[in-house]
Amino acid sequence: MEASGLTKIFGKQRAVDELTLTVPRGAVFGFLGPNGSGKTTTIRMLLGLVAPTSGSISLLGERMPGALASVLPQVGALVEGPAGYPFLSGRDNLIRLDAAEAGSDAATRALRVASALDRVGLTHAAAKKAHAYSLGMKQRLGLANALLRRRELLVLDEPTNGLDPQGTREVRALIRELAADGTTVFLSSHLLSEIEQLCTHVAVMSAGRLVTQGTLDELRAASERRLVVTTPDTDAARRALIARGLAVDPASADAPDTVAAALPAQVPVEELTAALVAADVRVRGIAASGATLEERFVALTGEGFDVAG
Ligand SMILES: Nc1ncnc2c1ncn2[C@@H]1O[C@H](COP(=O)(O)OP(=O)(O)OP(=O)(O)O)[C@@H](O)[C@H]1O
């Protein structure tokens, strides 16, 4: 999936401004940004639900909106506020949606619907009317619709929104399972931890603009915290840091009295200082640099992320 120069203007507001994205096949691509940063508008444009003011989109290698009708059956989508007929049961909603899918075989419909309900954990509530569903159950029903057939691409807008912790874990496990089967997944979230747990790639939005995109590993590497210890006792320092679980750099002839290592976010520098002293390392200097992924994203967007979940 690709977007180039994608822009949506509402009145005077540029909800999405010159967005260029490349989502590689097979990726689990996280679309991260605070509320109001333009994620939903982007997703609606990608799915042909709203026309861009300018810019171009291709889905599964086909230019949109020209190839929409042929590509959409291979795309499963869950967009904000899952719709549905409120006075039909969850199962009957899916039966209607399945019947509306091009080329769906009526003879196997009941089986498909039952299996989609099962995958999202809604079997027990299948006969209940959709208006009586909780937000989390509606979200699951929307996901079940996206799973009625095997999709090449799944586009999910805040897929764990409204789910309790157990439901959140289940939906994340389902996304991992689908990705392992080779489905490309594009999902939006305002939760950095969710993106870190699920995604191979990430793009970060702020006020309608893309502030960064790349693989999660690239962004991690760019935001890695580093520790540098200056000491005459480099061997002992190296051993003490390795014992604390740090990945220590190989010794360098250019810096004979220093030991450098990647510094995990959860390790406080004062603990390492104490460990070095306890190991009789004569510390001349100790310095930490860099930022965690979260600190980097906050710096990029100028806003805090909700890190719960
Ligand atoms: N139909 C519309 N008419 C006018 N403005 C809109 C419309 N849809 C969205 N906007 C505005 O565009 C901006 C981006 O909204 P969008 O819903 O895409 O953000 P978002 O990142 O998905 O946020 P959230 O996580 O809250 O859904 C917001 O300021 C919003 O008010």
Mutate-to-test residue for ligand 1 from 39, 49, 194, highest number of ligand atoms within 8 A of CB: 39
Mean pLDDT, rounded, for 76-98: 87
Report residue 82's pLDDT band, with 50, 70 and 90 as the boundaries.
low
Fold classified for 224-290? Alpha-Beta Plaits (3.30.70)
CATH number of 2-220: 3.40.50.300
Asked if 231 and 275 count as a contact pair (C-beta separation under 8 A), the reply is no
Mean pLDDT, rounded, for 265-279: 91
The number of the ligand 1 atom at minimal distance from the alpha carbon of 38 is 18
Domain map of the chain by residue range?
2-220, 224-290
Edge to edge, the sheet with strand 258-262 lists: 258-262, 226-230, 285-289
Q: How far is the CA of 38 from the centre of ligand 1 (A)?
A: 6
Mean pLDDT, rounded, for 175-199: 92
* Protein residues with CB under 6 Å of any ligand 1 atom: 10, 13, 15, 33, 35-41, 190
Measured in whole angstroms, the distance separating CA 276 from the mean position of its chain's CA atoms is: 38
Q: Is the pTM of this model over 0.80?
A: no
The number of the ligand 1 atom at minimal distance from the alpha carbon of 158 is 25
Per-residue model confidence as pLDDT tens digits over 278-288: 999 999 999 88
Report the pLDDT value the prediction gives residue 222, as an integer from 0 to 100.
72
Tokens, residue 1: 């999936």
